[in-house]
Chain A
Amino acid sequence: MTNYAVACEDLSISFGATKALKSVTTGFERGKITALLGMNGSGKSTLIKILAGIYRPGPGSRITIAGSTIAGHLTPQRSHALGMRFLHQEVGLVEALTVSDNFALTGRFKAPFALGPIAQREQDDFVSQVLQRFDLPVHPQSKVADLSPTLRTMVGMARAFQHDGDDEDVFARNVLVLDEPTASLPADEVHAVMATVERLRDHGGTVIYVSHRTEEVKRLADNLVVLRDGEVVVEEAVAHLQIPDIVTRVVGKSIAAKEPRQNDLTAAPVVFEVNNLHGTRLRDVNLEIRAGEILGVAGLVGCGRSELIRLLSGAQRPAQGTMELKGQLYHPTHPATAVKRGVVSVPQDRRAEGCILGMATTDNLTMGSLNTFFKGGLLRLKSETLSAKGLAETYRVKAGDIRSPISTLSGGNQQKVIIARAASKATEVLLLDEPTQGVDALAKQEIWNIIRGFAATGKAVIVASTDFDEFVGLCDRVIVLDRGVIAASAEGPDEITEKQLALLCAGADQ
């Protein structure tokens, strides 16, 4: 019998009428990295929250951790005492505080006696030791806000182990659960996190790894557990699987291989022109985008990708430079002026800037277009709902009740709502910043199809992304930004390949 560090038996849980997990029985092998996969809404996060003791599973559920079987509620304290260590997607560090203070938030400050003054030096020494164990070049007194996203993730990981001593089997005693640790990290920095996870395993650690990035799973994981609609559908070793096999197992059907775009744009008119544009980081950007073209914007973290989108969408004012839309001067001073001219953006941060979480899906879909439904001094709620329903259908938004808050939708569907809202208003140019970050493979395909369909109507699209896959499957042309300037560009299926883009982004010239 396999040696499981964590085993679940008949784990069920319902939220209202929805069964989030249906009698899940599975295990996570000791000393191995097990990838926990599944599309948005498949029950991964729920399973993790049960293991963390946050959710209480239904009757009949049993969890065995380190030999102790718990029937009923596993409290967060019990979960921690049994060696479960978690790093959630948001990492949970307070940016305004120092690394040392952040350690104390989940542990406690070193002090000579209760309510005594903080022994800062002792505290820093302790933190420094923990950081060293993870080979992190971080000073305890650094502000978290000053660390790169990658370092933040690793500091979060180190913090999870702060009270576990420094002997040889510290990792072997515990189970580390990583919930999409790399989702918000730039692709080129992911390897640092992966290396740390591998080291943990080599020291006997058990890791449960949740990710949407299949190539990471292939490289890292020993085993695979796939959830679909709250049930375990696949449990197998990763070694003999190829990336497409893994995708097929997650999605449940095979996804057609990417077809590079073949699109002759030489005859198409120029829709949008950027001349000598300067922002805070961007310098001297010049661009021409043709009708029907999908332009990719690549580059490492801090290259100015998001700033370019903000400048074009009126969310930020350029320091210098001019823009032209269909031959007319375009100088947006507010996103509203940009929207009026038919230039609409989809921001990177879905939860903070994309949707209004407390409001209904309908309200989110019609945000900014309510005047259409304001007739005779009344907001016509029926025709608004009808129009929102139409949009939801066109853009394949799966929602139980579209009048429920958008927060009840899965991430991929929330993203489709935001894109639907933007695309329905963008009569000229659609700007997208990381349109498929953190969404599952199927939703990704659907979003790409939406973008392709939009461009096919003769409008222009600009996509900023760190996902090279996205460029290959989607773009006619890709520009590469490096520290604020356009450093390179690639055009057509021969040049837009993952390898070529990786080289260009890394600063290697052709």
Chain B
Amino acid sequence: MTSRSPSPSTKRMTSAMVSTITKVRPEQGTARTRPGPAAFLTRYGVIVFLVLLFTIFALLMPRTFPTSGNLLAIVADQSIPIILALAAILPLAAGEFDLSIAAVLGFSSILSIALSNAGLPLPLVLAGTLILGLLVGAVNAFFVVKIGINAFIGTLAMATILAGLNLLLTRGSLMTLESEQFARLTSVPGSRIQIVIGYALVLVLAVWYLLERTPFGRYLRATGMGRPAARLSGVRTERYLTSSFVLAALLASFAGFLLASRSGSAPPTLGPEFLLPAYAAAFLGAATIRPGFFNVWGTVVGAFLLAVGSNGLTLMGAQTWVANVFNGVALLAAVSASVIVARRGVNGRA
């Protein structure tokens, strides 16, 4: 076959990994035609879990947890991770993993501090950072779509390269932002207003629109769920894959730009710690609202589930390791529950 779409067997493996989550989907039809407790749980289990967790913390710590200050902090702290999770779900919807997004975030953050400290005006700092994102996305797409290497490996290599460049730019030490104007992009000094939430909200709406209300989004999903069939129907699946990597890197670099503004400094190792939460939110998200589909609102819920959990545990005085364990357990539990409930539904044993 002279078909140019990359399909070495290793590649199929990753696609299979992505599609494990989409296997929940066939049962969703039964869920829609036959509403029942099982169908409800499949669809809203993660949300129920979030509400439950919230209620428990609110009852246990009525003075510290459900305060406007704490809740605002949770939302503001999640804004940048949510933007990164949006970056994760675009390639995931197209059937591929992009493991470089957290590294792009880290490198963009460092780059924008470096550009700003070098005296560049903010618009140019932003432009420079986004151009970097565009380049990284294009390179990722080139290797995955044109050359045909496994996205898992290709983007992992990109992440490693960027981690190296981080060290180059920072010379191995913490980099501190000098411009106050830059810092004011995400918050207003002396007030509780958190502008960063606004950026996240706009991007959430934009990605939701793109995925759910445009042909682009549908074709992107078709590329992930049935690439050969989509291709034969006249969908240029290569273009959608390419776009997904480019958009992911753009979102990630913008998230890095915001992170620079919000935290005001960047350690040379910045980045990797953001990867897992982004994917956890994406997969938790695919277990709710539209089970089996990576979706924006589900991802937002997933991100807050993890955030509420670790915030509540920290307030209760739990040690730092507890939050990590909680995140892992919550991810396993929520995704397993929705898969099990869905499987019961189709076997007629629910």
- Contacts A357-B225, A379-B213, A379-B218 given; indicate if A404 touches B29 (C-beta within 8 A): yes
**Total contacting residues, chain A, CB less than 8 A:** 53
Q: A317 — which chain B residues lie within 8 A by C-beta?
A: 2
Q: B189 — which chain A residues lie within 8 A by C-beta?
A: none
| The residue from A14, A17, A347 contacting B232, defined by CB atoms under 8 A apart | A347
**Whose C-beta in chain A lies nearest to the C-beta of B218?**
A370
**Whose C-beta in chain B lies nearest to the C-beta of A359?**
B225
Rounded to whole Å, the gap between the CB of B289 and the closest CB of chain A is 16
Rounded to whole Å, the gap between the CB of A388 and the closest CB of chain B is 13
| The residue from A339, A347, A378, A405 contacting B228, defined by CB atoms under 8 A apart | A347
A367-B34 in contact (CB<8A): no
Rounded to whole Å, the gap between the CB of B159 and the closest CB of chain A is 29
CB<8 Å pairs between A and B, sample of 21: A16-B33, A16-B34, A16-B345, A16-B348, A17-B34, A55-B347, A313-B232, A335-B233, A352-B228, A356-B226, A356-B230, A357-B226, A358-B22, A358-B26, A358-B225, A358-B292, A368-B230, A368-B234, A373-B215, A401-B32, A404-B32
Q: B139 — which chain A residues lie within 8 A by C-beta?
A: none
Q: How far is the CA of A374 from the CA of B215 in the complex (A)?
A: 7
**Whose C-beta in chain B lies nearest to the C-beta of A363?**
B218
- Contacts A335-B234, A379-B218, A425-B234 given; indicate if A358 touches B25 (C-beta within 8 A): yes
Rounded to whole Å, the gap between the CB of B212 and the closest CB of chain A is 8
Rounded to whole Å, the gap between the CB of B190 and the closest CB of chain A is 40
**A403 on the interface (CB 8 Å rule)?**
yes
**Total contacting residues, chain B, CB less than 8 A:** 41
Q: How far is the CA of A340 from the CA of B347 in the complex (A)?
A: 42
**B219 on the interface (CB 8 Å rule)?**
yes
**A497 on the interface (CB 8 Å rule)?**
no
| The residue from B28, B33, B232, B348 contacting A400, defined by CB atoms under 8 A apart | B33
**B9 on the interface (CB 8 Å rule)?**
yes
**Across the A-B interface, the 4 shortest Cβ-Cβ residue pairs:** A356-B226, A339-B234, A404-B29, A370-B215
Q: A345 — which chain B residues lie within 8 A by C-beta?
A: 232
Q: B348 — which chain A residues lie within 8 A by C-beta?
A: 13-16
B228-A340 in contact (CB<8A): no
Q: A374 — which chain B residues lie within 8 A by C-beta?
A: 214-215
Rounded to whole Å, the gap between the CB of B247 and the closest CB of chain A is 18
B222-A16 in contact (CB<8A): no
Q: B292 — which chain A residues lie within 8 A by C-beta?
A: 358
Q: A352-B229, A354-B232, A374-B214 are in contact. List 5 more A-B contacts (CB 8 A).
A: A344-B234, A347-B232, A367-B222, A378-B213, A401-B33
**B118 on the interface (CB 8 Å rule)?**
no
Q: Mark A404-422, 1 if CB is under 8 A from B, else 0.
A: 1101100000000000011
Rounded to whole Å, the gap between the CB of A145 and the closest CB of chain B is 11
